[in-house]
Every structure is written in C-alpha cells, then in structure tokens.
Amino acid sequence: MALLPVLEGLHSAESFHRAFLDAFFERAREIEAHPLQFEDSLKGRLIAAVFEEASTRTRLSFETAAHRMGARVISISDVKSTSHAKGESLLDSARMVGSYADLVVWRHPRDGATRLISQAVDVPVVNAGDGRLGHPTQTLVDLYTLYREWGSLEGKTVGIMGDLRNGRTCRSLLWGLSLAGARVVLLPATGLDWEAGFETRVLERSGLRSREVCHSLFKEWTGSESARLIEPKGLLQGSLFRDHTPRLDHLDALYLTRLQVERGGKASSGGYPGIRIPQLRDALLESCLILHPLPRLAEVPVELDQDPRARYFMQAQMGPIVRQALFLAMLRPDVWPLPDLAPLPSGNPEHRLGPCQNPGCITLQEGLRAPWRVCGRKNRLFLCSYCDSKLTVEYVGCKSSKRVHPIHSQEVMKIRPENLRPYVSRDDALEEGYQWGG
Ligand code: NCD
C-alpha cells in the first residue's frame, strides 16, 4: 500500500490502518504518562484553528494540546467576522491561513471541506469535523479511550447507536473500529441509517462481512429485534445459525450519539434511541462501557454519570492527549515519527459529469466540479472525491480501446482504473470519438 506521510494532513478515518493506530496509541500513552516531557516540544510553532461551526470540546482540546506543548495558537470561531462574510472563497481564505501557520485545524459545515482546503495549503490540514462526512480526530479519541481499557480492540464488540445518517462521528468510528479489528453492531435510529454504499465500501476496504444478530433490547432502541453485525470474515459462527438469527449475548462498549437536528435529523414517532437506567441491568450491558462524543441530550441520562461503565467524560479528557500525539506526528516527525497514513484515492478532474448530487458537498458551495474517484469490487462506483457521494454515471469509456459501455456491463469491470472515462450520456462519449461497445 502506498502511504501518505502523516504530516500531509488528516482528512478521513478511512486513512487509518492497524500499524498506524497501534503506534499512535502507544505515543498517546507516553504523553499521558509523562506530560511534562512534552512541554516544549512545539515551542516556536504556530497552529491555526478555524471553526466555522459550534464547538466546545474539539476546539478547546486542540488549543489545549497546542498550549501544553508550547505552541502558539491563532483562531477563528466566528466566521461572520471574517472575509468569508464578504464572499471570499474557501480556497482563498485557506491559502492565507496556511501561509501564516505551521498547521491548520479546520471545522466546516460542508462535506469534504478539508480535502478541498488541503489543495490550497502547503502545511498539514486536520479535519476537525466536516459536515456529515467525518470527524477523524474524534475517532482517535474514541478508539484511544477503548485502547486504554483493553490494550487492543481486536475481537471486541462495539455498538454504534443513533443518527448514523447525519452523525459524522459515527461514520468515522465505523472506519476506525473496523480497521482496528473490532466487531461492530449497528443500531440506527428509525429512518436514520447511513446511505446505501457506505457500509459496503467499509466492508470491502477492511475485509469484513455483515450478518444479522438479535436481542430484545435492540427492539426497545431501534424498533427492530435484529441488527447488523460487522465482523472479520474468519468468524464464521453465523453458518451454524442458518435458520434463525443468532442472539448477541454481550456488548463490550456502546457508542451513543445525539440526533443531528442541524443536519436534518428527525426522530421517528417511536422516539430516538437512548439508554434507560433499567436497561443497564440486562446481561447484554453487564460489562459494557458507555461512550458518547458529547454533547449529549436525553440519550444518556445524568443518572448514568456515576455508573462505573460511563466513559464519556473520560473520552473528553483524552481529547487533548490524542491531539498532542497528532500534532507531534505532524510537526516533529524528526523526533516522533509515526507510520504514514493510507492516502485517499486521488481525484480525477477530467469529465463531463454533472455536479455532485449531495446538497451538502463543498463543491456546490464553492461552485466547483467534483473530481471523481472509483471503487467497488462487483460494480464500478464513481464517487465525488471530496464528499464520497455517488456521482451519476451511466456509461463508461475505455481510454485505450476507445469503446464505451453501459455502467453495469461486465466490460466495465475489465477496464483498468487509469483508462476509465465516465459519462452521463452516450452522446458525450460518441462526440469524444468513442465507439459503442454495447
Ligand atoms: C460531535 C461533532 O461535532 O460532530 N461533537 C464533538 O466533536 N465532540 C458530535 C455532535 O455534535 O453531536
């Protein structure tokens, strides 16, 4: 696997892999154990924090991390006070911020924003949450909180519950848990499951499979007794239960999230899933750690705060330590090298496709055409390389044979990725000199 130096930035939890995560958590553990040793590690460095959306923990923990290591911080938390309000493009603002600071942390309401920002900036850019798409540093916090407890996440069973569709922490966490070797039980609130295609992509990248499991508590949470369990392919116990859905007997951790109202999340008439105190007596949750990225609403009652299984405030406490480890990896690779991150596939800007169909995509705000990336083992999928949404493609040409085929034709799977040329209309392809391949 070709790897991207970690100092080039962190945009998506899709870039994590086991060797990176293991080394990262060891580093975080050292920082946690010997905080004073790192006091001057970033002396003379300047970190910019731009938060175009509300934040308490994330912004403060990035700033705390910088201050703990002697770096200085410049920050913007009210975009109304910037030239953005005068209509300046994101790329222009980013170019300027990137020329002042040694590292840029950016939170943005649009999907894929930091991937775009990094095009204009020569220093590392860290995604502090982009729209519904991702929140990779929160995932590092979530995983580190579990790693501290267990030493390894391999084989542990973790539930993710709530507004999966709109919750960026959930989306990133699925990447993180699956790449760390955990089993994941998906408990989406009614009508708030992720869009088709996302889970398949995670399964393909991590070599995992999905099967159904059941438990009576799932019904109280999601309205259905059964839930999808994602796990390594080697664990084939599922075949023993061909005729009925196996019951899950325990969860090692459960990650709850709030309804993302600001991103269009709506609770169904059945309500929104959360823990109720009597449920904590069920064997399923007997030794289950309760996590939440915060802020919490009613899904985690305050009575749970005193329970020995509650870990959400511990998560928040780990925020600065994890961000210290990230800053060190990015700004002091000479002293604190870490394995490189897996690069996100690069985008191809050449095409005559329409705009990205995702109304939250950064390309729509900035009036840009979405570059495409391709994935899929059974069918070719063309995705916006900023927001990962499926682009509308009906025909695919092969640049070497100069023939064009319907997207679902078997011929398309035979075309090498570098020779793919996607089209919405056959006429566009014929106009560019392609022959109809059928
Ligand atoms: C999350 C976020 O902003 O996505 N909060 C955080 O960073 N800790 C979760 C949320 O707002 O629900």
Q: Encode pLDDT of 192-237 as tens digits.
A: 999 988 999 999 988 899 999 999 999 999 999 999 999 988 755 5
Rounded to whole angstroms, the Cα distance separating 396 from 125 reads 34
Q: Which atom, in ligand 1's list, is nearest to the CA of 316?
A: 8
Chain segment 346-405, per-residue pLDDT in tens: 889 999 999 999 999 999 999 999 999 999 888 899 999 999 999 999 999 999 999 999
Strand order in the sheet with 226-232: 208-214, 226-232, 183-188, 157-162, 253-256, 289-291
In terms of Cα–Cα distance, which of 109, 90, 93, 113 is closest to 101?
Answer: 93
User: CA angle, corner 191, sides to 290 and 129, nearest 5?
Assistant: 55
Distance 169 CA to ligand 1 centre (A): 7
3-state helix, strand, coil split of the chain in percent (to 5) is 40, 20, 40
- For the chain, the structural domain boundaries read 9-133+317-331, 137-316, 362-436
Residue 427 three-state SS: helix
What pLDDT does 275 receive? 98
Residues 10, 333 contacting (CB under 8 angstroms): no
| pLDDT number for residue 87 | 84
Measured CA to CA, the distance from residue 152 to residue 143 in angstroms comes to 10
Contact status, residue 342 vs residue 44, Cβ threshold 8 Å:
no
pLDDT of amino acid 289: 98
pLDDT score for 233: 82
From ligand 1's centre to the CA of 290, what distance in Å?
16
pLDDT at residue number 438: 66
Q: What is the pLDDT, as a whole number, of residue 322?
A: 98
Atom number, ligand 1, closest to the C-alpha of residue 257? 12
Say whether 137-316 and 9-133+317-331 share the same fold: yes
pLDDT for 336 equals 84
Q: Quickly count: other Cβ atoms within 10 Å of residue 189's Cβ.
A: 27
CATH topology of domain 9-133+317-331: Rossmann fold (3.40.50)
**From atom 11 of ligand 1, which residue's Cα is the shortest distance away?**
295
Listed in order, strand segments (DSSP E) in 12-151 are: 46-51, 72-76, 103-108, 125-130
pLDDT per residue as tens digits for the range 216-228:
999 999 999 999 9
Q: How far apart are the first and last CA of the chain?
A: 35
- Which ranges of the chain have pLDDT less than 50? 1-5, 238-239
Three-state DSSP state, 364: helix
Give phi and psi for 52, each to the nearest 5. -90, 15
Residues near 390 by Cβ (< 8 Å), separated by ≥ 6? 197, 357, 381, 382, 383
Q: What is the pLDDT of residue 4?
A: 42
Ligand 1: which of 135, 168, 291 to mutate, judged by most atoms within 8 Å of the beta carbon?
135
Q: How far apart (Å, rounded) are the C-alpha atoms in residues 401 and 229?
A: 42
What does the alpha-carbon distance between residue 14 and residue 334 come to, in Å, rounded to a whole number? 25
DSSP-derived 3-state class of residue 193: coil
- Backbone phi, psi, residue 40, to 5°: -110, 15
Q: How far is the CA of 328 from the centre of ligand 1 (A)?
A: 24
Which of 110, 138, 255, 296 gets mutated to test ligand 1 (max ligand atoms within 8 A of its CB)?
Answer: 138
Task: Name which CATH class applies to 137-316.
Answer: alpha beta
Q: What is the pLDDT of residue 196?
A: 82
SS3 of residue 271 by DSSP: strand
Q: CA–CA separation, 291 vs 159, rounded Å?
A: 10
Q: Which residue ranges have their beta carbon within 6 Å of ligand 1?
A: 57-58, 129, 135, 138, 168-169, 257-258, 293-294
Q: Look at ligand 1, atom 12, and give the residue with the nearest C-alpha.
A: 258
46 φ, ψ (degrees, to nearest 5): -120, 125
Residues listed for the chain: 438
Write the DSSP symbol of residue 310: B
Helix, strand, or coil here: 84?
Answer: helix
- In ligand 1, the atom with minimum distance to the C-alpha of 319 is 8
